[in-house]
Amino acid sequence: MAFTHDPARVPKTRAVALRLARAVAAAPVDWGPGFVKRDPYESDPGFLPALDANCVWQREPLPATVLATLTRYSELPAEDGKGPIRVAAVVTVHRTVTDAAWEMAGTLEEALRCPDQQLRQGERITGLISQGSAFGQMGNLTSEDSLAEGGEYYSDDLGGPHYYYWLQSRLGQVTVAAVGRGADGRTPEEVSAALVPGMSQMLSGLETELGVTK
């Protein structure tokens, strides 16, 4: 896929990278009508989620290859007897395109290594299956690399199993991801559909911020 990045707009410092992440990360309005902020709304941008040898997610200081990362949490509240749909937007700005490509490859490897993962205390996902595609493969017409990951979600407050879905794409040195978690009364189709507007908005915003043209 032929993207043209404006060299003057490619982040080279942590401050510029964090500004880009904040500009691109999907907010409640980007997911669709009814979505609101969760508490906490944003992650600490000084730390990066990392999957340890025991398949437990930890937060670690940013490695040298990452300039900035930011996660925003939103949800469609419970209504009409249905539980909430919880979504998150993740933007990670790497120092180089190669570093970002390695993140995409590592995400695919994690699902193979750890099909069952603990997200945090009281939350876990099981039976993960992931699939990657380059531009032009399996319907990917919006990014240089993309991947999708699905499984079942369990939590102390929402029970389970509920549908879990993760979408991730790369443009240049930046990756964006959208993750959705279901609840009682929410179908897999509802959760998957909820991710589309947020992911589309982030990719569009990224093209605008970096001066990318097709």
Interatomic CA distance for residues 209 and 214, integer angstroms: 14
pLDDT digits 0-9 by tens, 76-119: 999 999 999 999 999 999 999 999 999 999 998 999 999 999 99
Tell whether 1 is covered by a domain.
no
Tens digits of residue pLDDT in 117-146: 999 899 999 999 987 655 444 444 455 788
The total domain count for the chain is 1
- Is 2 inside a domain boundary? no
The answer to which of 52-56, 143-147, 159-163, 191-195 has the lowest mean pLDDT is 143-147
Domain of 24 in residue numbering reads as 7-210
> What CATH number is attached to the domain comprising 14?
3.40.1000
Summarised one tens digit per residue, pLDDT across range 169-183 is 998 899 999 999 999
Sheet strand arrangement including 85-94: 36-42, 66-76, 85-94, 174-181, 159-171, 145-155, 123-134, 117-120
The closest of 15, 6, 2 to 135, measured between CA atoms, is 2
Q: What is the pLDDT of residues 191-213, one digit of tens each?
A: 999 999 999 999 999 988 886 55
Q: Structure pTM?
A: 0.91
